[in-house]
Amino acid sequence: MLTLASGRVTWDTVPFEPPTAPYRPVAGPPPFRLVATDLDGTLLHSGQSVSGRTLRALARVAEAGAAHLVVTGRPATACKQYLAALGYRGLAVCGQGAQLYDADADRLLSSASLDIDLARSVVERVEAALGPLELGGA
């Protein structure tokens, strides 16, 4: 999903200007205001590294005047090193949306958690219906 500078939301195409050598930002406001990306499989290779190509693409996002937002299922503590490798200085939505992390200040701004008794009750009912579960937590 893409929200254009006009406020229009589209699912079909991403405005793209074919690369030129050297890259020159287009005059005027960017065709998009925000680029939101996942970490795993998007910004990070399978070896958990960040490619030069990815870093150049993020630089183009910044040059175009758009903001970059990292959104990841990882808890904030598990993504700090990768955000640092990206030179990421903004907010990150972590922990499946349950955490808001300020990478610049290295500070967890908010964290929502499930009520432990409610979570246990749900797990017990699911196990009763489906059998034993393997669960992990952050």
**Residues designated as active site:** 38
What is the distance of C-alpha 55 from the center of its chain? 15
Peptide bond into 75 cis (omega under 30): no
Residues 109 and 101: beta-carbon distance below 8 Å: yes
Contact in structure between 84 and 104 (CB atoms under 8 Å) = no
DSSP string, 103-127: TTTTEEEEE----HHHHHHHHHHHH
**How far, in Å, CA of 58 to CA of 63, rounded?**
9
